[in-house]
Amino acid sequence: MSEMIGSVVSQVLVKGQFAVLLYFLAVNGWYLVLLVSSLLELRHHMLLITDESRHLLLSSTLSPTISILAPAYNEEATIETSLRALLALQYPSLEIIVISDGSKDRTVQVLIEKFALVAVKTIYEQRIKTKPVRSLYRSSTYSSLVVVDKENGGKADALNVGLSFARGELVCAIDADTLIEADGLQRMVRPFLYATDVVATGGTIRVVNGSQVRHGRVAKTAVPTHMLAGMQVVEYLRAFLFGRLGWNRLGGNIIISGAFGLFQREAVVNAGGYLHDTVGEDMELVLRLKRLSYEQGGPGKIGFVPDPVAWTEVPESAAVLGRQRDRWHRGLADVLWRHRRMLFNPRYGVTGLFVFPYYAFVELLAPVVEAIGLIGLLFGLVFGVVDWKFAGLFYLTAYGLGTALTAFTLILEDISFHRYETFRDRVLLFWWALLEDLGYRQLTVYWRLRGLWKYMRGRKDWGAMERKGFRPVTASS
Amino acid sequence: MISQSLLNIVMLVEIGLLALAVVLFFTHGIWLYVSEKRLARLSKIARDSLAQLVTRGTVNVEQMSVLENLPPNVQVIAFLEISRNLTGTGKERLRFAAQQVGVIDRARKLCESRRWQRRLRGARILSQLDVPDPLVQKLLADPHPALRAQAAEWAAAQPSPTVISAMLALLADPATQARFAVQNALLRMGTVVAVPLGDFLDIQSGRAAEAGLRVAETMAGPRFAQTALRHSQTDDVGIRVAAAKLLGAIADAQAAERLVALLNDDEARVRAAAAHGLGRMQHWQAASQLANGLRDRTWRVRRESGLALRAIGAAGTLFLRRALKGDDRFAADMAQQVLDLPEAATG
């Protein structure tokens, strides 16, 4: 009996291994193309920004007004620092809208006390249907500050309320705990000043864990020593520096991080705002804007700008990280399913023919293929049709190119923005890059598969997130 | 079956790539460390020498030779760093030093390069040092929009009639980047632009007129009164909005009269701009017309009318309070919100 199973497994493996290996080669080959593309894009970008006089923008009354939309839910401990950092952003025409999404703690009271808020008659132009707004506040000391207290409806609903109150031509959607670098908006607004067909831009998100934060700003960057956080640093660098940057040149992005994105307000409102019934509301909006630009005309360019940076805290516990990744993957599956008609549809140009299929077959299905490969290998070992040496070699081959690509991403970071300066950081970065494929990657495969499974079973919840809080500056620093 | 030898070859290639990456990553790190140390040391020398040259105004041969002997990239970094904080005599002295050590000549050469990247680099150096060079002026007609934008930035410090006229022509530039830079530069040139801009607007229409009106709004001199009145009657909504804003900034009797008429424009954006303009000029005589705006079908117009009434002062507040008791619920709500606003939030 076991001989028969062994022979079947052997036959399946023989046929399947080529497919799996071909898939790996194709994916890594495409990554190579992305890496080259991002290298070219980065070079072009650096040429454009070197010695530019961005400070002139600060004195210009012609700069478009930006409304920052900051949804907050139970943020009483951090909201004052976060908001003060936002108010100190260097941009000439800024409006900040904090939307308390039915916070159950003292978030609103803290804001009232610290920012001299005054309640005003709660009326607004509701262009998108949302949960009711309870109160509206304006500050007696900060002319640009608006605080909205609404019933709980989730992040998408809070952002939609923010859109109703925003007066800026551009809106910047952030997470309340995102730390935007002081000149981040000046950098991010560039594509809107340079072209009329830009509908959204995204900036780089970096991991703040391990770094020192002072008054809502990153005072000193450092690679975290915590394993999960460290590997996420490498992951984020790879995702932004060669993933999104590479797509800029190869047909445009369809993802802008929900933690830091700039949009044309009218385009977003006309598109109906953020969707409530998806966990991937940020990607869904971007893809919808892109799709509408093909279907109805109008601006549709989605740009990624690598130099504006926002810092975010990443989970350090496997359980929380797992929930986050599972949610991201459910979001991806949901968004791709909703817009499935774009797949290989020439009507949607490069997005339909290249970008969308990439997200469907590489980003979405990669964990499935990877799991099949791993399970196949395990079966092969159990039934003795694959020897240990071969299995080890196969495993190393499959992941080796990925590690090499990650290493080249680190070089890309080093020659461009060079945020991690010390030798210690350099060693740590490389260390996490090497270790990433030995367990962590397989864990993410599991979490993403779990997300896919939950999506197929109809789960749409966010899952709880826990944050440790930013590391304060020590006296010696 | 995939042969083990094939896997061996692939593995070897991967190991090679990884080893190359490791070598590159750490070598680059060492190179960065060494070069940054060297750069910091040399920059300090350059900074000290330049600071002395700029403050004392005398050219010390020894200091000049120190500067001349520095690597070109260090020279450029030091000159540009200091130039940002200088104007007038200090900047003239800096330019003189830059000329002496060859920074300006090298930048000129870059401006003549066939590659746009080099031209951009050259233009940026000459712009930041405010060098009045015709080579940069030529770049106002460069095929690359980034170059036109950079040349416009340079032009802000060179407000000669020829430069201004070339800049005004660029207000119709199809590239947004160049157009924005030109508007910005015209703003920075200040009142010297008023007369030529007025002449330009008298004969312009379309995109150039709209861009020009936005610049004129910040100058708001009487020179623009007639042209703003003319443009406020065009069919183009964007131009009417820009003209209404300009009229609000000019704030004379004719402007007020026209803005009151624009409160009845078919386009909500124009009505809102007119209300805003009347509030800006605190034209209390228009309070009753603005109070009508509180009942407008468009939110934006209602809001701008309310804010304008608040800006007008006592007369406006009276109308806002009257609206609270009126039969129009939308007007009453808007009046209440505007009255509730703290002073800081009424702008």
Q: What are phi and psi of A67, to 5 degrees?
A: -105, 120
Q: Could you say which residues from 62 to 121 on chain B have a Cβ atom under 8 Å away from some Cβ of chain A?
A: 80, 84, 117, 120-121
Cβ–Cβ of A414/B29 closer than 8 Å?
A: yes
User: How far are the Cα atoms of A253, A263, A285, A333 from residue A338, in angstroms, in the given order?
Assistant: 18, 21, 11, 9
pLDDT digits (tens, 9 = 90+) for A202-238: 999 999 999 999 888 899 999 999 999 999 999 999 9
Q: Kindly indicate the confidence band of residue A471, based on its pLDDT and cuts at 50, 70 and 90.
A: very low
pLDDT digits (tens, 9 = 90+) for A335-384: 999 999 999 999 999 999 999 999 999 999 989 988 888 888 787 788 77
pLDDT for residue A335: 96
8 A C-beta contact, residue A245 and residue A41? yes
* Count of C-beta atoms within a 10 Å radius of residue B74: 17
* DSSP one-letter code for B113: -
Nearest to A120 among B124, B146, B340 (CB): B340
* Whole-complex ipTM: 0.88
Rounded to the nearest angstrom, the minimum Cα separation between B198 and chain A is 19
pLDDT at residue A321 greater than cutoff 50? yes
pLDDT for residue B315: 94
Least confident interval from B56-60, B97-101, B238-242: B56-60
pLDDT for residue B56: 77
| DSSP states along B16-73 | HHHHHHHHHHHHHHHHHHHHHHHHHHHHHHHHHHHHHHHHH----HHHHHHHHTS-HH
Rounded to the nearest angstrom, the minimum Cα separation between B64 and chain A is 24
Contact residues, chain B, for A269 at CB < 8 Å? none
8 A C-beta contact, residue A69 and residue A99? yes
| End-to-end Cα, chain A, rounded Å | 68
Q: Which of B12, B25, B26, B324 to mutate to test the interface with A (most CBs of A within 10 A)?
A: B25
User: How far are the Cα atoms of A115, A143, A451, B103, B324 from residue A137, in angstroms, in the given order?
Assistant: 10, 11, 39, 55, 20
Q: Which is nearest to A445 in space by CA: A373, A387, A385?
A: A373
Rounded to the nearest angstrom, the minimum Cα separation between A13 and chain B is 9
pLDDT at residue B346 greater than cutoff 90? no
pLDDT digits (tens, 9 = 90+) for A121-149: 999 999 899 999 999 999 999 999 999 99
CB contact B183 to A (< 8 Å): yes
Cα B166 off chain centre by: 18
**Coil, strand, or helix at residue A212?**
strand
pLDDT for residue A384: 76
Tokens of residue A347, six digits: 């009507």
Contact residues, chain A, for B128 at CB < 8 Å? 51, 53
Rounded to the nearest angstrom, the minimum Cα separation between A393 and chain B is 7
pLDDT for residue B64: 81
Q: Could you say which residues from 233 to 292 on chain B have a Cβ atom under 8 Å away from some Cβ of chain A?
A: none
pLDDT digits (tens, 9 = 90+) for A413-437: 888 888 888 999 999 999 999 999 8
- Distance between CA atoms of A321 and A376, rounded to whole angstroms? 27
pLDDT for residue B1: 52
Nearest to A138 among B8, B11, B342 (CB): B342
**Coil, strand, or helix at residue B148?**
helix
Contact residues, chain A, for B22 at CB < 8 Å? 407, 430
Contact residues, chain A, for B145 at CB < 8 Å? 194
Cβ–Cβ of B14/A400 closer than 8 Å?
A: yes
Percentage of chain B beyond pLDDT 90 is: 64
Least confident interval from B10-24, B109-123, B193-207: B10-24
- Distance between CA atoms of A137 and A191, rounded to whole angstroms? 33
Nearest to B7 among A52, A59, A394 (CB): A394
Contact residues, chain A, for B33 at CB < 8 Å? 423
- Distance between CA atoms of B305 and B320, rounded to whole angstroms? 10
Rounded to the nearest angstrom, the minimum Cα separation between A259 and chain B is 27
| DSSP states along B303-346 | HHHHHHHHHH-HHHHHHHHHHHTSS-HHHHHHHHHHHHS-GGG-
Instruction: Output A68 or A472, whichever has higher pLDDT.
Output: A68
Cβ–Cβ of B11/A400 closer than 8 Å?
A: yes
Q: What is the mean pLDDT of chain B?
A: 91
pLDDT for residue A395: 75
pLDDT for residue A473: 41
